Amino acid sequence: MSAAAQATIDKNLEVSRQVPEDQLPDDAILIAGQHKNLRQTIYPVIGKHPIEAVTRAENGRFRGLIFTGPPGIGKTHQIMQLAGMDHQGAKQIAAFVRLPMASRRADEFGIYLVPKEVDGEIILEQPLIEQQIIPLLEENIGDNYGILLFDDVTLGDPSLQSAILEIVQFGRIGKHKLGKNVLVAMTGNGIGHGCSAVEWNQALMTRSMLVNMRPNFKAWQKLECNKNMDARLMGFLINNQEDYWCPSIEKQPGSFDENMRGATPRDWTAIANDLPSRGGLDNYEGNVIFPERGDFFAANLGERTREALDTWFGTLDKYPTAETLMQTPEVWDDLPQSERNNKGAVYCVADMVKNYAMARWKEISALGKTAAAGEAMRKLATDFSMAIAYIMTNEQELGAYAARGMLQEVIKITGQNGDAFTAQISRYTFNGERKGEIPQKLITSGFVKLMSDVREMNELMK
């Protein structure tokens, strides 16, 4: 989304937070991806549709909107969001048509004459080649809003841009005309992105708003479609964002193999969602095409990325397992300082501790409310707290991530008040601190402060 659109949304968001939900107008728009309880509901931009954030030309039509940037960064997804759609095409609030332009020639796009019988006479009619555009025509869409997306324009014939220019400037395709509130959007790659792209037509750019999308790893990391990514892969990316997440052929040529294959954010998202069905990292199930795990990575991410991943997995072998860290957290301090400060590796360890503790919690919860289960839950809370505290000594944010993640999962299953596990952690930290009966590590690492913040947030959410 453009900076102008985002700024307008932010402004209206602040206003709408003060409005009771039952008093919002019928055409209010729920921002995609936001939880309803956060009241992230906005009025239409300036009383109109969000597409109105795009500037209009003197003839009253929207200027073109170009999203450019590296492949796989989410350009098409951003246009879909402007239409109110998620990555699966749901929640649509504007008519949306996407036309792929990759490898197209100018003579494959536009208008051609065909005979048609009208009142008994044969005439030459000019139908649209692209039947999908018909819903966006003036006679069909009226004053409603719509988006016509020409996707991957710079991967098609350069002369295509001249044809698109006519549509952007006048909204006309032959004798047909797009609705006055139809935005013509385009996506494309730059010539330095390693994808054989052509340059943008200067005439087209001067009649359009140009949004140069830059890689934003933290925003990408939080996307719902990446929630299934193995922590070891995410940890690798935390350490290697520039070289192997969204590399540039100009700045990181060594990240591309002899076939000019390098990884893109889209590739990593695909890996995250496909790998579990293949057995995951630890139990990969090969097939005729990809017999080994490395073959699968090379095909999806490129040979250089596969080699870097092999080295990374070897690095992780130096770290204690989650079980070991829960039983004897002191082993964390035996690691060299450089390894305790390795953000990607610490992220992996913290996630493994969270997953191990969650698995133990489920086992203990299945025992019911017995004395043995109560004692086991107390020990789990104590061991988990100490393991996280040691991690937080070097990487406070990553340790806190694991602790919050564990508590959120437990509360999601048991309800807002949690269960014996959350009660035991509270008792261990707050009562222990008051009585001076907890290890100093829990205090100096910031773990007690973290639990205090979590408790305060839970009180606010009730």
3-class state of residue 378 by DSSP: helix
The answer, yes or no, to whether residue 21 has pLDDT greater than 50, is: no
3-class state of residue 402 by DSSP: helix
- The reported pLDDT for the residue numbered 384 is 95
Are 329 and 335 in contact, with CB atoms under 8 Å apart? no
Looking at the whole model, is its pTM more than 0.75? no
| Bridge partner list, 67 | 187, 211
- Please tell me the least confidently modeled range out of 60-74, 161-175, 415-429: 415-429
Question: Could you tell me the sign of the dihedral formed by the alpha carbons of 383, 385, 387, 389, in that order?
Answer: negative
Are 268 and 308 in contact, with CB atoms under 8 Å apart? no
The tokens 């209009």 sit on which residue? Answer: 56
The answer, yes or no, to whether residue 79 has pLDDT greater than 80, is: yes
- Please tell me the least confidently modeled range out of 35-44, 66-75, 89-98, 452-461: 35-44
Band (117; pLDDT cuts 50, 70, 90): low
- The reported pLDDT for the residue numbered 421 is 83
Q: Which positions ≥6 away from 125 have C-beta within 8 Å?
A: 113, 114, 115, 116, 118
Distance CA 57, CA 459 (A): 51
- The reported pLDDT for the residue numbered 75 is 86
324 or 74: whose pLDDT is higher?
A: 324
- The reported pLDDT for the residue numbered 106 is 62
Buried b (16+ CB within 10 A) or exposed e, 22-50: eebeeeebeebeeeeeeebbbbbbeeebb
Distance CA 37, CA 27 (A): 19
Distance CA 182, CA 79 (A): 13
Residue type at position 130: E
- Transcribe 288-309 into DSSP letters: SS--SHHHHHHHHH-HHHHHHH
134 or 360: whose pLDDT is higher?
A: 360
**Mean pLDDT, rounded, for 157-180:** 85
Cα distance from N-terminal residue to C-terminal residue, the chain: 34
- The reported pLDDT for the residue numbered 415 is 76
**Mean pLDDT, rounded, for 207-234:** 89
The answer, yes or no, to whether residue 353 has pLDDT greater than 80, is: yes
For residue range 368-399, list pLDDT tens digits in order: 889 999 999 999 999 999 999 999 998 999 99
**Mean pLDDT, rounded, for 350-375:** 93
The answer, yes or no, to whether residue 39 has pLDDT greater than 50, is: no
User: Residue 373 is encoded by which pair of tokens?
Assistant: 């289960």
Are 445 and 394 in contact, with CB atoms under 8 Å apart? no
**Mean pLDDT, rounded, for 242-247:** 92
Distance CA 246, CA 232 (A): 18
Buried b (16+ CB within 10 A) or exposed e, 434-443: eeeebeebbe
Band (128; pLDDT cuts 50, 70, 90): very low
The answer, yes or no, to whether residue 29 has pLDDT greater than 50, is: no
The answer, yes or no, to whether residue 362 has pLDDT greater than 70, is: yes
CA 276 to chain centroid: 18
Name the phi and psi angles at 202, rounded to 5. Answer: -60, -40
Residue among 248, 246, 229 at smallest CA distance from 191: 248
Residue among 399, 401, 453 at smallest CA distance from 429: 453
Are 233 and 271 in contact, with CB atoms under 8 Å apart? yes
Burial of 290 from C-beta contacts in 10 A (0-12 / 13-18 / 19+): middle
Band (191; pLDDT cuts 50, 70, 90): low
**Mean pLDDT, rounded, for 17-46:** 34
Band (338; pLDDT cuts 50, 70, 90): very high
Band (18; pLDDT cuts 50, 70, 90): very low
- The reported pLDDT for the residue numbered 194 is 52
At 187, which helix (H) or strand (E)?
strand 182-188
Residues found in the chain: 462
For residue range 273-311, list pLDDT tens digits in order: 999 999 999 999 999 999 999 999 999 999 999 999 999
Are 398 and 438 in contact, with CB atoms under 8 Å apart? no
pLDDT > 90: what percent of the chain? 39
Are 12 and 30 in contact, with CB atoms under 8 Å apart? no
The answer, yes or no, to whether residue 116 has pLDDT greater than 70, is: no
Q: Which positions ≥6 away from 242 have C-beta within 8 Å?
A: 251, 252
Band (118; pLDDT cuts 50, 70, 90): low
- The reported pLDDT for the residue numbered 107 is 61
For residue range 395-451, list pLDDT tens digits in order: 999 999 999 999 888 888 887 666 778 888 888 887 777 777 788 899 899 898 888
Distance CA 181, CA 61 (A): 7
